[in-house]
Chain A
Amino acid sequence: MEMHEYIPVDIFCRQHGVELAVISSLQSYGLIEILRVNEIEYVEQNHLAEAEKVVRLYSELNINPEGIDAIVNLLQRIKEMQSEIQFLKNRLNLYED
Protein backbone atom coordinates (compact mmCIF):
# COMPACT_ATOMS: atom_id res chain seq x y z
CA MET A 1 0.00 0.00 0.00
CA GLU A 2 1.42 3.38 -1.01
CA MET A 3 0.87 5.41 2.17
CA HIS A 4 0.99 8.78 0.44
CA GLU A 5 -2.23 7.80 -1.33
CA TYR A 6 -4.05 7.63 2.00
CA ILE A 7 -4.76 10.54 4.31
CA PRO A 8 -5.39 9.71 7.97
CA VAL A 9 -8.87 10.86 8.97
CA ASP A 10 -7.58 12.85 11.96
CA ILE A 11 -5.29 14.88 9.67
CA PHE A 12 -8.16 15.37 7.24
CA CYS A 13 -10.33 16.65 10.12
CA ARG A 14 -7.64 19.04 11.32
CA GLN A 15 -7.11 20.33 7.79
CA HIS A 16 -10.80 21.07 7.35
CA GLY A 17 -11.58 22.11 10.91
CA VAL A 18 -14.26 19.47 11.50
CA GLU A 19 -14.88 17.03 14.34
CA LEU A 20 -14.20 13.34 13.89
CA ALA A 21 -17.87 12.68 14.68
CA VAL A 22 -18.86 14.68 11.59
CA ILE A 23 -16.83 12.38 9.37
CA SER A 24 -18.35 9.31 11.05
CA SER A 25 -21.81 10.71 10.50
CA LEU A 26 -21.11 11.49 6.83
CA GLN A 27 -19.60 8.04 6.41
CA SER A 28 -22.69 6.40 7.86
CA TYR A 29 -24.73 8.04 5.09
CA GLY A 30 -22.30 6.67 2.52
CA LEU A 31 -21.14 10.18 1.63
CA ILE A 32 -17.49 9.66 2.51
CA GLU A 33 -15.52 6.49 1.95
CA ILE A 34 -13.23 5.59 4.82
CA LEU A 35 -10.63 2.85 4.69
CA ARG A 36 -9.51 1.17 7.91
CA VAL A 37 -5.99 -0.27 8.01
CA ASN A 38 -4.42 -1.50 11.28
CA GLU A 39 -7.06 0.33 13.34
CA ILE A 40 -6.30 3.61 11.59
CA GLU A 41 -8.90 5.25 9.38
CA TYR A 42 -7.92 6.84 6.09
CA VAL A 43 -9.45 8.83 3.26
CA GLU A 44 -8.20 7.59 -0.08
CA GLN A 45 -6.52 10.15 -2.32
CA ASN A 46 -8.92 9.11 -5.11
CA HIS A 47 -11.90 10.05 -2.94
CA LEU A 48 -10.34 13.16 -1.46
CA ALA A 49 -11.97 15.72 -3.77
CA GLU A 50 -15.41 14.21 -3.21
CA ALA A 51 -14.84 14.02 0.56
CA GLU A 52 -13.74 17.66 0.66
CA LYS A 53 -16.82 18.70 -1.29
CA VAL A 54 -19.13 16.87 1.13
CA VAL A 55 -17.38 18.44 4.13
CA ARG A 56 -17.65 21.91 2.57
CA LEU A 57 -21.38 21.46 1.98
CA TYR A 58 -21.75 20.35 5.58
CA SER A 59 -19.65 22.97 7.32
CA GLU A 60 -19.98 25.97 5.04
CA LEU A 61 -23.60 25.73 4.01
CA ASN A 62 -24.93 23.99 7.14
CA ILE A 63 -26.57 21.27 5.09
CA ASN A 64 -27.34 18.09 6.98
CA PRO A 65 -26.23 14.66 5.70
CA GLU A 66 -29.68 13.86 4.24
CA GLY A 67 -29.59 17.11 2.29
CA ILE A 68 -26.05 16.47 1.10
CA ASP A 69 -27.07 13.00 -0.04
CA ALA A 70 -29.89 14.49 -2.10
CA ILE A 71 -27.57 17.19 -3.53
CA VAL A 72 -24.85 14.68 -4.44
CA ASN A 73 -27.41 12.53 -6.25
CA LEU A 74 -28.86 15.52 -8.08
CA LEU A 75 -25.39 16.74 -9.08
CA GLN A 76 -24.64 13.27 -10.42
CA ARG A 77 -27.86 13.38 -12.46
CA ILE A 78 -26.97 16.84 -13.78
CA LYS A 79 -23.55 15.54 -14.79
CA GLU A 80 -25.10 12.58 -16.60
CA MET A 81 -27.62 14.83 -18.33
CA GLN A 82 -24.88 17.23 -19.37
CA SER A 83 -22.90 14.41 -20.96
CA GLU A 84 -26.07 13.20 -22.68
CA ILE A 85 -26.69 16.72 -24.02
CA GLN A 86 -23.10 16.86 -25.25
CA PHE A 87 -23.50 13.45 -26.89
CA LEU A 88 -26.71 14.56 -28.58
CA LYS A 89 -25.10 17.83 -29.72
CA ASN A 90 -22.28 15.82 -31.27
CA ARG A 91 -24.86 13.54 -32.96
CA LEU A 92 -26.66 16.59 -34.25
CA ASN A 93 -23.48 17.67 -36.01
CA LEU A 94 -24.00 14.68 -38.29
CA TYR A 95 -27.04 16.35 -39.79
CA GLU A 96 -25.75 19.89 -39.88
CA ASP A 97 -23.55 21.32 -42.55
Chain B
Amino acid sequence: MSFIDYYETLGINKNASEDDIKKAYRKLARKLHPDLNPNDKEAHSKFQKINEANEVLSDPEKRKKYDQYGEHWEHGEEYEQAQRANSRPRNTGEQSYAGDFDESNFSDFFASMFGGSSGGSSRAQVKYRGQDFNSELSITLEEAFTTHARTLKIQDKNIRITIPAGIENGQTIKLRGYGGKGVNGGPDGDLFIKFAISNASNMRRSGNDLYTTVDLDLYTAILGGEKTIETLSGKIKLKIKPETQNGTKSRLKGKGFPVYKKEGEFGDLFITYHVMVPTDLTDKQKELFIELQKLSQ
Protein backbone atom coordinates (compact mmCIF):
# COMPACT_ATOMS: atom_id res chain seq x y z
CA MET B 1 0.00 0.00 0.00
CA SER B 2 1.50 3.33 -0.97
CA PHE B 3 0.79 6.95 -0.14
CA ILE B 4 -1.69 8.73 -2.41
CA ASP B 5 -1.22 12.43 -3.02
CA TYR B 6 -4.82 13.64 -3.09
CA TYR B 7 -3.74 17.18 -3.93
CA GLU B 8 -1.96 15.93 -6.99
CA THR B 9 -4.99 13.82 -7.92
CA LEU B 10 -7.12 16.98 -8.01
CA GLY B 11 -4.32 19.08 -9.54
CA ILE B 12 -4.24 21.60 -6.69
CA ASN B 13 -1.62 22.71 -4.20
CA LYS B 14 -1.64 22.15 -0.45
CA ASN B 15 -2.83 25.67 0.27
CA ALA B 16 -5.95 25.28 -1.85
CA SER B 17 -9.11 26.75 -0.33
CA GLU B 18 -12.35 24.80 0.03
CA ASP B 19 -13.62 26.64 -3.00
CA ASP B 20 -10.52 25.68 -5.02
CA ILE B 21 -11.04 22.04 -4.07
CA LYS B 22 -14.69 22.15 -5.05
CA LYS B 23 -13.89 23.79 -8.38
CA ALA B 24 -11.07 21.39 -9.19
CA TYR B 25 -13.18 18.39 -8.28
CA ARG B 26 -16.19 19.51 -10.29
CA LYS B 27 -14.06 20.25 -13.31
CA LEU B 28 -12.51 16.78 -13.21
CA ALA B 29 -15.83 15.10 -12.42
CA ARG B 30 -17.36 16.69 -15.53
CA LYS B 31 -14.50 15.29 -17.55
CA LEU B 32 -14.31 11.81 -16.04
CA HIS B 33 -17.86 11.01 -14.95
CA PRO B 34 -18.70 7.42 -16.03
CA ASP B 35 -21.92 8.52 -17.72
CA LEU B 36 -19.86 10.71 -20.02
CA ASN B 37 -17.24 8.02 -20.59
CA PRO B 38 -19.14 4.80 -21.12
CA ASN B 39 -16.94 1.67 -21.28
CA ASP B 40 -13.81 3.70 -20.55
CA LYS B 41 -12.10 1.82 -17.74
CA GLU B 42 -9.33 4.40 -17.40
CA ALA B 43 -11.78 7.26 -16.93
CA HIS B 44 -13.74 5.15 -14.49
CA SER B 45 -10.63 4.45 -12.44
CA LYS B 46 -9.58 8.12 -12.46
CA PHE B 47 -13.09 9.11 -11.45
CA GLN B 48 -12.87 6.85 -8.42
CA LYS B 49 -9.55 8.42 -7.50
CA ILE B 50 -10.85 11.98 -7.68
CA ASN B 51 -13.93 10.95 -5.70
CA GLU B 52 -11.70 9.59 -2.99
CA ALA B 53 -9.50 12.69 -3.04
CA ASN B 54 -12.58 14.88 -2.74
CA GLU B 55 -13.99 12.75 0.06
CA VAL B 56 -10.89 13.54 2.07
CA LEU B 57 -10.02 17.10 1.08
CA SER B 58 -13.57 18.49 1.18
CA ASP B 59 -14.01 17.33 4.77
CA PRO B 60 -11.95 19.68 7.01
CA GLU B 61 -11.48 17.00 9.65
CA LYS B 62 -10.26 14.37 7.22
CA ARG B 63 -8.13 16.93 5.42
CA LYS B 64 -6.48 17.94 8.68
CA LYS B 65 -5.69 14.34 9.49
CA TYR B 66 -4.44 13.72 5.96
CA ASP B 67 -2.24 16.83 6.00
CA GLN B 68 -0.79 15.88 9.33
CA TYR B 69 -0.28 12.19 8.78
CA GLY B 70 -0.70 11.67 5.04
CA GLU B 71 2.76 10.41 4.27
CA HIS B 72 2.98 8.68 7.63
CA TRP B 73 -0.45 7.10 7.47
CA GLU B 74 0.69 4.16 9.59
CA HIS B 75 0.39 6.48 12.60
CA GLY B 76 -3.27 7.19 11.90
CA GLU B 77 -4.39 5.14 14.89
CA GLU B 78 -2.36 7.30 17.29
CA TYR B 79 -4.01 10.34 15.76
CA GLU B 80 -7.46 8.77 16.23
CA GLN B 81 -6.78 8.24 19.91
CA ALA B 82 -5.67 11.82 20.36
CA GLN B 83 -8.74 13.10 18.54
CA ARG B 84 -11.27 10.86 20.29
CA ALA B 85 -11.15 12.98 23.43
CA ASN B 86 -12.47 16.13 21.77
CA SER B 87 -14.08 14.87 18.61
CA ARG B 88 -17.61 15.77 17.58
CA PRO B 89 -19.59 14.19 14.76
CA ARG B 90 -19.94 16.58 11.86
CA ASN B 91 -21.67 16.67 8.58
CA THR B 92 -19.97 18.77 5.95
CA GLY B 93 -22.95 18.69 3.61
CA GLU B 94 -20.50 18.53 0.76
CA GLN B 95 -21.78 16.88 -2.35
CA SER B 96 -20.02 13.93 -3.91
CA TYR B 97 -20.80 12.34 -7.21
CA ALA B 98 -22.00 8.80 -7.63
CA GLY B 99 -22.36 7.89 -11.31
CA ASP B 100 -22.03 4.11 -11.06
CA PHE B 101 -19.43 4.65 -8.39
CA ASP B 102 -18.98 1.73 -6.07
CA GLU B 103 -17.98 3.05 -2.67
CA SER B 104 -16.27 -0.19 -1.78
CA ASN B 105 -13.63 0.79 -4.31
CA PHE B 106 -11.85 3.30 -2.12
CA SER B 107 -8.17 2.57 -1.96
CA ASP B 108 -6.50 0.54 0.79
CA PHE B 109 -4.70 3.72 1.72
CA PHE B 110 -8.03 5.45 2.35
CA ALA B 111 -9.42 2.46 4.27
CA SER B 112 -6.32 2.34 6.44
CA MET B 113 -6.45 6.02 7.25
CA PHE B 114 -10.18 6.64 7.56
CA GLY B 115 -11.52 3.16 8.22
CA GLY B 116 -13.58 2.31 5.13
CA SER B 117 -15.80 4.00 2.62
CA SER B 118 -17.08 7.46 3.40
CA GLY B 119 -16.59 7.46 7.11
CA GLY B 120 -20.20 8.05 8.09
CA SER B 121 -20.76 11.24 6.19
CA SER B 122 -24.12 12.32 4.81
CA ARG B 123 -23.56 10.09 1.78
CA ALA B 124 -24.27 6.98 3.81
CA GLN B 125 -28.03 7.41 3.41
CA VAL B 126 -27.97 7.93 -0.34
CA LYS B 127 -28.83 4.98 -2.54
CA TYR B 128 -26.40 4.33 -5.34
CA ARG B 129 -26.72 2.11 -8.34
CA GLY B 130 -24.10 -0.64 -8.34
CA GLN B 131 -21.06 -0.43 -10.54
CA ASP B 132 -21.31 -1.70 -14.11
CA PHE B 133 -18.90 -4.50 -14.88
CA ASN B 134 -17.19 -4.87 -18.23
CA SER B 135 -15.85 -8.15 -19.46
CA GLU B 136 -14.41 -9.44 -22.71
CA LEU B 137 -15.11 -12.90 -24.03
CA SER B 138 -13.04 -14.51 -26.77
CA ILE B 139 -14.71 -17.04 -29.01
CA THR B 140 -13.79 -18.50 -32.39
CA LEU B 141 -15.59 -17.83 -35.65
CA GLU B 142 -16.78 -21.43 -35.58
CA GLU B 143 -18.28 -20.92 -32.12
CA ALA B 144 -19.96 -17.71 -33.21
CA PHE B 145 -21.59 -19.67 -36.03
CA THR B 146 -23.89 -21.58 -33.67
CA THR B 147 -25.99 -20.63 -30.67
CA HIS B 148 -24.29 -22.05 -27.64
CA ALA B 149 -24.11 -21.73 -23.87
CA ARG B 150 -21.05 -20.56 -21.99
CA THR B 151 -20.33 -20.19 -18.29
CA LEU B 152 -18.36 -17.14 -17.19
CA LYS B 153 -16.78 -16.44 -13.86
CA ILE B 154 -17.38 -12.82 -12.90
CA GLN B 155 -16.33 -11.64 -9.44
CA ASP B 156 -16.28 -15.25 -8.16
CA LYS B 157 -19.79 -15.84 -9.46
CA ASN B 158 -20.59 -18.30 -12.23
CA ILE B 159 -22.87 -16.85 -14.85
CA ARG B 160 -24.30 -19.03 -17.59
CA ILE B 161 -25.10 -17.17 -20.77
CA THR B 162 -26.43 -18.20 -24.14
CA ILE B 163 -24.51 -16.71 -27.02
CA PRO B 164 -26.78 -16.33 -30.03
CA ALA B 165 -25.40 -17.43 -33.39
CA GLY B 166 -24.25 -14.55 -35.56
CA ILE B 167 -22.74 -12.40 -32.83
CA GLU B 168 -20.32 -9.83 -34.26
CA ASN B 169 -16.70 -9.19 -33.37
CA GLY B 170 -16.72 -6.20 -31.00
CA GLN B 171 -20.42 -6.54 -30.21
CA THR B 172 -21.39 -5.93 -26.59
CA ILE B 173 -24.32 -7.53 -24.82
CA LYS B 174 -25.78 -6.31 -21.54
CA LEU B 175 -26.85 -8.55 -18.69
CA ARG B 176 -29.06 -6.42 -16.49
CA GLY B 177 -28.38 -6.68 -12.75
CA TYR B 178 -25.23 -8.78 -13.06
CA GLY B 179 -22.93 -5.89 -12.16
CA GLY B 180 -21.89 -4.65 -8.73
CA LYS B 181 -24.32 -4.63 -5.82
CA GLY B 182 -26.25 -1.42 -5.28
CA VAL B 183 -25.28 0.65 -2.26
CA ASN B 184 -27.84 1.24 0.50
CA GLY B 185 -30.54 -0.62 -1.39
CA GLY B 186 -29.83 0.98 -4.77
CA PRO B 187 -30.25 -1.19 -7.87
CA ASP B 188 -27.48 -3.54 -8.96
CA GLY B 189 -25.30 -2.52 -11.89
CA ASP B 190 -25.19 -4.30 -15.24
CA LEU B 191 -22.66 -6.62 -16.80
CA PHE B 192 -21.41 -5.72 -20.28
CA ILE B 193 -19.75 -8.50 -22.25
CA LYS B 194 -17.77 -7.54 -25.32
CA PHE B 195 -17.07 -10.32 -27.78
CA ALA B 196 -13.71 -10.77 -29.48
CA ILE B 197 -14.02 -13.25 -32.32
CA SER B 198 -10.83 -14.90 -33.47
CA ASN B 199 -10.65 -16.38 -36.91
CA ALA B 200 -8.20 -19.09 -37.88
CA SER B 201 -10.39 -20.47 -40.66
CA ASN B 202 -10.00 -19.84 -44.38
CA MET B 203 -13.22 -17.81 -44.31
CA ARG B 204 -13.36 -14.05 -43.93
CA ARG B 205 -16.49 -12.52 -42.46
CA SER B 206 -18.14 -9.23 -43.23
CA GLY B 207 -21.44 -8.82 -41.42
CA ASN B 208 -23.46 -11.89 -42.35
CA ASP B 209 -21.49 -12.69 -45.46
CA LEU B 210 -18.52 -14.99 -45.70
CA TYR B 211 -15.70 -14.76 -48.21
CA THR B 212 -13.29 -17.48 -49.21
CA THR B 213 -10.83 -18.35 -51.95
CA VAL B 214 -10.91 -21.75 -53.64
CA ASP B 215 -7.88 -23.11 -55.47
CA LEU B 216 -8.65 -24.74 -58.82
CA ASP B 217 -6.25 -26.86 -60.82
CA LEU B 218 -5.79 -25.68 -64.37
CA TYR B 219 -7.53 -28.68 -65.91
CA THR B 220 -10.73 -28.30 -63.85
CA ALA B 221 -10.70 -24.57 -64.56
CA ILE B 222 -10.50 -25.23 -68.30
CA LEU B 223 -12.68 -28.29 -68.62
CA GLY B 224 -15.08 -27.74 -65.72
CA GLY B 225 -15.95 -30.24 -63.03
CA GLU B 226 -16.71 -30.49 -59.36
CA LYS B 227 -14.91 -29.36 -56.26
CA THR B 228 -15.81 -30.07 -52.64
CA ILE B 229 -14.98 -27.42 -50.07
CA GLU B 230 -15.22 -27.28 -46.29
CA THR B 231 -17.41 -24.47 -44.90
CA LEU B 232 -18.49 -23.57 -41.37
CA SER B 233 -21.74 -25.45 -41.92
CA GLY B 234 -20.16 -28.53 -43.51
CA LYS B 235 -18.99 -29.70 -46.90
CA ILE B 236 -20.34 -28.18 -50.10
CA LYS B 237 -19.93 -29.56 -53.61
CA LEU B 238 -19.27 -26.80 -56.13
CA LYS B 239 -19.94 -27.12 -59.84
CA ILE B 240 -17.13 -25.52 -61.78
CA LYS B 241 -18.05 -24.16 -65.18
CA PRO B 242 -15.71 -24.92 -68.07
CA GLU B 243 -13.25 -22.10 -68.84
CA THR B 244 -13.45 -20.58 -65.38
CA GLN B 245 -11.09 -17.61 -65.25
CA ASN B 246 -8.67 -16.88 -62.44
CA GLY B 247 -10.36 -14.45 -60.01
CA THR B 248 -13.89 -15.44 -60.98
CA LYS B 249 -16.33 -14.74 -58.17
CA SER B 250 -19.33 -16.84 -57.30
CA ARG B 251 -22.08 -16.23 -54.75
CA LEU B 252 -23.80 -18.99 -52.84
CA LYS B 253 -27.01 -17.60 -51.40
CA GLY B 254 -27.78 -18.52 -47.80
CA LYS B 255 -24.46 -20.28 -47.23
CA GLY B 256 -22.93 -17.45 -45.21
CA PHE B 257 -23.09 -16.57 -41.52
CA PRO B 258 -26.28 -16.81 -39.45
CA VAL B 259 -28.10 -13.50 -38.97
CA TYR B 260 -27.98 -12.47 -35.28
CA LYS B 261 -31.19 -13.41 -33.46
CA LYS B 262 -32.97 -14.31 -36.71
CA GLU B 263 -33.25 -18.04 -36.69
CA GLY B 264 -32.99 -19.70 -40.08
CA GLU B 265 -31.64 -16.57 -41.82
CA PHE B 266 -28.15 -16.62 -43.25
CA GLY B 267 -25.92 -14.32 -45.24
CA ASP B 268 -24.20 -15.39 -48.46
CA LEU B 269 -20.92 -17.13 -49.19
CA PHE B 270 -18.71 -15.43 -51.79
CA ILE B 271 -16.12 -17.59 -53.47
CA THR B 272 -13.17 -16.35 -55.47
CA TYR B 273 -11.53 -18.97 -57.69
CA HIS B 274 -7.79 -19.05 -57.81
CA VAL B 275 -6.50 -21.02 -60.78
CA MET B 276 -3.26 -22.85 -60.02
CA VAL B 277 -0.77 -23.11 -62.87
CA PRO B 278 0.89 -26.54 -62.80
CA THR B 279 4.58 -26.73 -61.97
CA ASP B 280 7.22 -29.45 -62.40
CA LEU B 281 5.79 -30.55 -65.71
CA THR B 282 6.92 -33.83 -67.20
CA ASP B 283 8.39 -33.89 -70.70
CA LYS B 284 5.18 -35.35 -72.01
CA GLN B 285 3.09 -32.59 -70.42
CA LYS B 286 5.39 -29.91 -71.83
CA GLU B 287 5.05 -31.49 -75.23
CA LEU B 288 1.28 -31.42 -75.02
CA PHE B 289 1.27 -27.78 -73.87
CA ILE B 290 3.50 -26.85 -76.80
CA GLU B 291 1.05 -28.63 -79.07
CA LEU B 292 -1.81 -26.72 -77.50
CA GLN B 293 0.10 -23.48 -77.96
CA LYS B 294 0.59 -24.21 -81.64
CA LEU B 295 -3.10 -25.04 -82.02
CA SER B 296 -4.17 -21.77 -80.48
CA GLN B 297 -1.85 -19.60 -82.58
Where the two chains meet, the residues of A that have a C-beta atom closer than 8 Å to any C-beta of B are 15-17, 48-49, 52-53, 56-57, 60-63, 71, 75, 79, 86-87, 89-91, 93-94
Contact = CB atoms under 8 A, between A and B. Distances in A.
Contacts of A56: 33, 35, 97-99
B209 to A, nearest CB: 10
Contacts of A60: 29, 33, 95, 97-99
A34 to B, nearest CB: 19
Given A17-B126, A60-B97, A60-B99, A93 B199 contact: yes
B97 A61 contact: yes
B206 A86 contact: no
Nearest to A94: B204
Interface string B178-200: 00000000110010000000010
Interface in B187-234: 187, 190, 199, 204-207, 211
A15 B127 contact: yes
A75 to B, nearest CB: 7
Contacts of A17: 126
Interface residues of B, number: 27
B206 A94 contact: yes
Given A48-B187, A56-B35, A91-B206, 17 more contacts: A17-B126, A49-B190, A53-B35, A56-B97, A57-B33, A57-B36, A60-B33, A60-B98, A61-B29, A61-B97, A86-B170, A89-B170, A90-B168, A93-B199, A93-B204, A93-B206, A94-B204
Interface string B5-47: 0000000000000000000001001100101101000000000
Interface of B: 26, 29-30, 33, 35-36, 38, 95, 97-99, 126-127, 129, 168-171, 186-187, 190, 199, 204-207, 211
A57 B95 CA distance: 14
Given A52-B129, A94-B211, A15 B186 contact: yes
B141 to A, nearest CB: 10
Contact of B205 (A49, A71, A86, A93): A93
Q: Identify whether the interface residues of A are mostly helix, strand, loop, or mixed.
A: helix
Q: Which of B33, B35, B171, B190 has the most CB of A within 10 A?
A: B35
Contact of B35 (A16, A48, A57, A91): A57
Nearest to B182: A15
Contact of B36 (A52, A71, A87, A91): A71
A6 to B, nearest CB: 15
Contacts of B98: 56, 60
A72 to B, nearest CB: 10
B132 to A, nearest CB: 9
A75 B33 contact: no
Contacts of A79: 38
A79 B40 CA distance: 13
A90 B186 contact: no
Contacts of A89: 169-170
B198 to A, nearest CB: 11
A17 B97 CA distance: 13
Contacts of A90: 168-170, 205-207
Contacts of B186: 15
B203 to A, nearest CB: 10
B166 to A, nearest CB: 13
27 contacts: A15-B127, A15-B186, A16-B127, A49-B190, A56-B97, A56-B98, A56-B99, A57-B33, A57-B35, A60-B29, A60-B33, A60-B97, A60-B98, A61-B30, A61-B33, A61-B97, A62-B26, A63-B30, A75-B38, A90-B169, A90-B206, A90-B207, A91-B206, A93-B169, A93-B204, A93-B205, A94-B211
